């Protein structure tokens, strides 16, 4: 039996934080995406569009709340 790890709000926040974007611990996917978009607009983060594309390619394990937040605030596709 194969167990698949889903990409949830915590994973999304951790990946954004790894890019140097400060996200509060209690931020949901919407707030995380909004903060990331704001930071990217102020100072382009070249790795952010790459991360977004990678996450969107994994739609089968990306939770809908994260996908919707990306589509709403980070439409790099």
Which pLDDT value is given to residue 76?
Answer: 82
Length of the chain: 77
What pTM was computed for the model? 0.92
pLDDT > 90? residue 54: yes
The number of angstroms, rounded, from the C-alpha of 53 to the middle of its chain's C-alpha atoms is 10
**Which token pair is 16?**
């954004």
SS3 state of residue 76: coil
| 14, HSE (Cβ side, Cα atoms, 13 Å) | 5
Rounded to an integer, what distance in angstroms lies between the CA atom of residue 17 and that of residue 64? 20
| 32, 69 Cβ separation under 8 angstroms | yes
Task: List, for residues 5-38, the tens digit of each pLDDT value.
Answer: 899 999 999 999 999 999 999 999 999 999 999 9
Taking residues 41-68, report their average pLDDT.
Answer: 96
């Amino acid at each position: 039996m194969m167990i698949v790890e889903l990409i949830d709000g915590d994973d999304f926040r951790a990946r954004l934080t790894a890019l140097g974007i400060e996200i509060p611990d209690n931020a949901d996917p919407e707030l995380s995406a909004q903060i990331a978009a704001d930071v990217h607009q102020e100072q382009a983060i070249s790795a952010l569009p790459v991360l977004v594309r990678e996450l969107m390619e994994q739609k089968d394990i990306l939770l809908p709340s994260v996908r919707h937040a990306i589509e709403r605030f980070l439409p790099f596709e």
